[in-house]
């Protein structure tokens, strides 16, 4: 459903935000490739926080082992993945 709604926005040249964890380049590329036919402008915003904040915000929601597993899979977005990338670090 999210992909179809994104395509509706892209066809209309309407700005929108795709809020996702997007841990790997492959996951990010899946979204980008689905929208490429509409020639959109892609901006990735990478937000990084410290471990203390991460664990306190997710306490009870996501097991600690799962968070560590996600961290091992993380591929920080690179300059060639989008038109612009903003890196925000806490």
From first to last of the 90 residues of the chain, give the pLDDT tens digit: 999 999 999 999 999 999 988 999 999 999 999 999 999 999 999 999 988 888 888 778 888 899 899 999 999 999 999 999 999 997
- What's this model's pTM, rounded to 2 decimal places? 0.84
The 3-state DSSP composition of the chain as helix, strand, coil percent (nearest 5) reads 50, 15, 40
Give dist(CA 70, CA 79) in Å, integer: 22
């Amino acid at each position: 459903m999210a992909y179809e709604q994104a395509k509706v926005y892209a066809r209309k040249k309407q700005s929108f935000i795709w809020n996702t964890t997007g841990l790997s380049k492959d996951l990010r590329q899946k979204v980008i490739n689905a929208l490429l036919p509409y020639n959109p402008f892609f901006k990735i915003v990478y937000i990084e926080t410290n471990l203390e904040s991460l664990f306190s915000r997710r306490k009870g929601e996501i097991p600690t082992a799962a968070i560590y597993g996600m961290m091992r899979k993380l591929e920080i977005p690179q300059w060639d993945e989008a038109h612009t990338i903003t890196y925000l670090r806490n």
